[in-house]
Structure 1
């Protein structure tokens, strides 16, 4: 029991702790764009400065990094690929832009327009800014994919109609911190995916199905094992996880017309 508790506390710390960002501040060159697309209407003008690309994306074509103003040392956004089908990847609480690097590169190579990021001071603002960056670069439809706290934040944002994307995938989302209710998902008509592993100490099958109560239209995929969030996509059931994610994205952009 003590070993299980220790493992659960370790996973909780991994999902809810914080780690410093060490990337250097970028140049003063700014990129401005006001978007009127759904999900960004009424938000401040988007502004970001070019920044250093994380080493996990070295050599990737069409990759760039940006830093949000007013958040020194935090809030770096990394873009990959191009085109109208946008995907925003959100890491766990202390995670950074490299957490979803493998999936981001895979999807960009498959024709998606991807943003992954380091958290800024305001989590919801970081997701919203990543979405605006994609739209400023030509994405007409956007899906959100978040692991652990990232998925929790994204699912919670569905209560705000102004920020809703075309689809949301919560990978090992948290049941205890989400504050989900039937109002979060019952009025949302986009695609929803909840994916996790059966014995994850922080987001096991029971917790995943607890989250699903707030999102009755969600597809729920439970894979064997204990892996959490992005780790699932590097484990023994990675192929099944990718099939589930790819199916979700296919449905999202077919429905949205992207």
Structure 2
């Protein structure tokens, strides 16, 4: 079934919404690591580890990059998210504990609700964290996660993958098996894995889908 984005194909298995752009293992990534210049956001420290920061909104978003990328690689997406009224932190360390530290830093600033967005290895780290603490995240957006997990909560989840990448079935399985009534999987044409999608003609539609999800499920 073709969805409202036109170029994106959605597999409707269960009412599930998840956005994730990170993973801690599995399929290797092949794209470059992205910009490391001064346009990559304000450099901050999260629990002693470096991170990049955009925006000062009342809704929080933590970004976890893939293994071949870095925090600055989220620049274009982070700027768009911040322009929508969010406080955005992209962690350099994608260990689950480091992601939790970023969530707690935003909460310490008074940001009550935080979305987790991950790609490949970053997505895997988010899944690990969310399965340990299902109430931590307000919503999940995951790009090309590499493995399924149990124990997720009922938060909205969006899963995105390319139909011809080796781990495409993982996103489909997660959307079907995860708790909650706002879970969704979007399967794209092509082979691009995780953040490599942003180097294809699917970049605009995927970013638009992310922004729509973040706005839709942001705290009122």
Q: 1:210 aligns with which of 164, 167, 173?
A: 173
Maintained 8 Å contact 2:58/2:85: no
For 2:68 and 2:189, the matched residues in 1 are separated by: 25
Return the TM-score normalized by structure 2.
0.76
**Residues 133 and 94 of structure 1, relative CA distance in 2, 3 Å threshold:** farther
State the superposition RMSD in angstroms: 2.4
Name structure 2 gaps, 5 residues minimum.
1-25
Which residue of structure 1 aligns with residue 55 of structure 2? 81
Quote the residue 1:237 is aligned against: 202
Aligned residues: 189
- Residue 150 (structure 1) shift: 0.9
Task: Please say if residues 59 and 87 of structure 2, whose CA atoms lie closer than 8 Å, have aligned partners that are also in contact.
Answer: yes
Q: Deviations over 1:195-241 (max 9, x none)?
A: 1111123x22x232123343154211111111121221332011221
Aligned counterpart for 1:65 among listed residues 44, 55, 60: 44
Which SS does the other structure have where 1:239 is aligned? helix
Deviation at residue 191 of structure 1 after TM alignment? 1.1
TM-score normalized with structure 1 length: 0.66
Is 85-94 or 140-149 further displaced after alignment? 85-94
In structure 1, the residue corresponding to 2:101 is in which secondary structure? helix
Segments of structure 1 that go 5 or more residues without pairing to the other structure are 1-10, 20-53, 70-74
Higher relative contact order (CA 8 A, sep 6+): 2
Deviation at 1:94, TM superposition (A): 4.5
Structure label with greater radius of gyration: 1
SS at match of 1:107: helix
The alpha-carbon deviation at position 171 of structure 1 amounts to 0.8
Q: CA deviation at 1:80?
A: 0.9
